[in-house]
Amino acid sequence: MQLINALRAALGDSAVLTGPEDRAPFERDWRGLAQNPAVAVIFPQTTAQVTEIVKLCADNGVKIVPQGGNTGLVAGGVPAPGGNQIILNLRRLHQIRALDPVGDTITAEAGATLHAVREAAARANKLFPISFGAEGSAQIGGIISTNAGGMQVLSYGSTRAQVLGLEAVLADGRIWNGLGALRKDNTGLDLKQIFIGAEGTLGIITAATLRLYPAPSAQACALAGVADVAAALELFTRLRHQCGPALTLCEFIDGPAMQLGAAHTPGGRLPFGAPAYVLLELSALDAAATPAATLERLLAEALESGLAQNAVIAQSTREAQGFIAMREAVSEGELREGGAVKHDIAVPLAAIPETVAAIETLVATKYPDCRLNIFGHLGDGNLHINIRPPAGQTLASLATRKTAITIDVEALAVARGGSFSAEHGIGQFRLAGMRAHKSAVELDLMRALKAALDPQNLLNPGKLLPVKDLS
């Protein structure tokens, strides 16, 4: 094929994979639920090479699927059905270009992993505050394109809040260099915002300048046991009131989810049994501060009033990391034990107990053989409502019911002023939600942007935007 020969000539043979077995891991999403063929998987090493690929694909009428670490949970980074697509994997474009300890910024290429950026920041005694279970593989371009959240949004905001500047290759092959590091710049439209959360449909991000923060000097982490999500919310509200932004993590994990996480963490052991758990972290910049003492006092009050049933404060960094590892292992544990129909909803905080009660009633009445797993970022109102197949059965056993389950769960969230996709994005799996819950005006505005920036629909077709009403 002419395109493949041209790509090999431009990038070298090792940067172009065409064999079906070589392509397969890149064509399949993290959960193994979507797999469609790509013509090739391409690994550019420079922004100039990305430009070259885009121009060659445009000339040959071949579509481009930008791909980072392929850890996305909505199949945005793998081909949609329809063929005639290449996967443009950014993993070789991974340099840390600069770290400015005075301006508190880091400039990294799109293929740098989240872990590598966090480590580079830590070496300079700084914090890059996006953090979640897949950070060893997820890349900077991927987290920006999905506006990823994670466990510390509570204090620092989501990825959008961390982006100061971007470099991107447009669908016409031009490079937009918007790698500014300014915190104030009101010179017209803030163009970087267009690409954040666009899931690779409007341009290919090749580098970003990101905000850093001073690394905390002292931290304390605790695991509390509570009766239910209402008690968890009350505990969060009290701690937030007392600690403000020093409360840097507040995760809710129901009992079954936590048991899965513990079972799939090497050496994982729950210090006590409980109907539900709250994972907490307090951070301080002042080395003289004693967050462990504060946490101990607040948890003692919660235990005394009966709000918490049990609580353990980590006695070492290792123990704290162990608690966090068990929380992070929930998704992987779920996948290894048969998978789940997954949801990623957000609701206003006050609506959390009522939403969870409605979901429990839904499952008990309409899907009584299924098992419910609820966990997520409590302080952001973001819960993963995952419905597992009956014990001993695989996800395939829910094939005929999974669409109905998702319609029901998403509708319950939206009816309470919530979102049907809080942090994972739309990809291929949430397109029905876009159609059901976004207004015609919202979809028209998004389509207008897409048509202006990518009139040939070259970039990531079949993702984010549902095709226009077929009726």
Please tell me whether residue 143 binds ligand FAD under the rule CB under 6 A. yes
Region from 243-251, 269-277, 283-291, 421-429 binding ligand FAD, contact rule CB under 6 A: 421-429
Shortest distance, position 320 Cβ to ligand FAD, whole Å: 18
The span from the CA of 96 to the CA of 125, in Å, is 16
Please tell me whether residue 428 binds ligand FAD under the rule CB under 6 A. no
Q: How many chain residues interact with ligand FAD (CB under 6 A)?
A: 38
Please tell me whether residue 192 binds ligand FAD under the rule CB under 6 A. no
User: Which of 104, 251, 423, 454 is close enough to bind ligand FAD by CB under 6 A?
Assistant: 423
Please tell me whether residue 461 binds ligand FAD under the rule CB under 6 A. no
Contact criterion met (CB below 8 Å) for 200 and 76:
yes
Nearer CB in complex with ligand FAD: 142/216: 142
Nearer CB in complex with ligand FAD: 332/337: 332
Nearer CB in complex with ligand FAD: 207/276: 207
Nearer CB in complex with ligand FAD: 66/379: 66
Nearer CB in complex with ligand FAD: 132/429: 132
The span from the CA of 250 to the CA of 280, in Å, is 5
Please tell me whether residue 139 binds ligand FAD under the rule CB under 6 A. yes
Shortest distance, position 148 Cβ to ligand FAD, whole Å: 3
User: Which of 44, 129, 142, 379 is close enough to bind ligand FAD by CB under 6 A?
Assistant: 142
Q: Which of residues 324-353 bind ligand FAD (CB under 6 A)?
A: 331-332
The span from the CA of 406 to the CA of 432, in Å, is 10
Contact criterion met (CB below 8 Å) for 461 and 85:
yes
Q: Which residues neighbour 49 within 8 Å (Cβ) at sequence distance 6 or greater?
A: 10, 11, 15
Contact criterion met (CB below 8 Å) for 117 and 210:
yes
Strands 40-42 and 85-89: parallel
Region from 14-22, 64-72, 217-225, 346-354 binding ligand FAD, contact rule CB under 6 A: 64-72
The span from the CA of 71 to the CA of 136, in Å, is 10
Please tell me whether residue 150 binds ligand FAD under the rule CB under 6 A. yes
User: Which of 280, 463, 465, 466 is close enough to bind ligand FAD by CB under 6 A?
Assistant: 463
Which residue is nearest to ligand FAD, using beta carbons? Answer: 142
Shortest distance, position 253 Cβ to ligand FAD, whole Å: 13
Q: Which of residues 76-105 bind ligand FAD (CB under 6 A)?
A: 76-77, 90
Shortest distance, position 318 Cβ to ligand FAD, whole Å: 21
* Residues contributing to the site for ligand FAD (CB under 6 A): 30, 65-73, 76-77, 90, 110, 132-134, 138-139, 141-143, 145-146, 148-150, 199-200, 204-205, 331-332, 423-424, 427, 460, 463
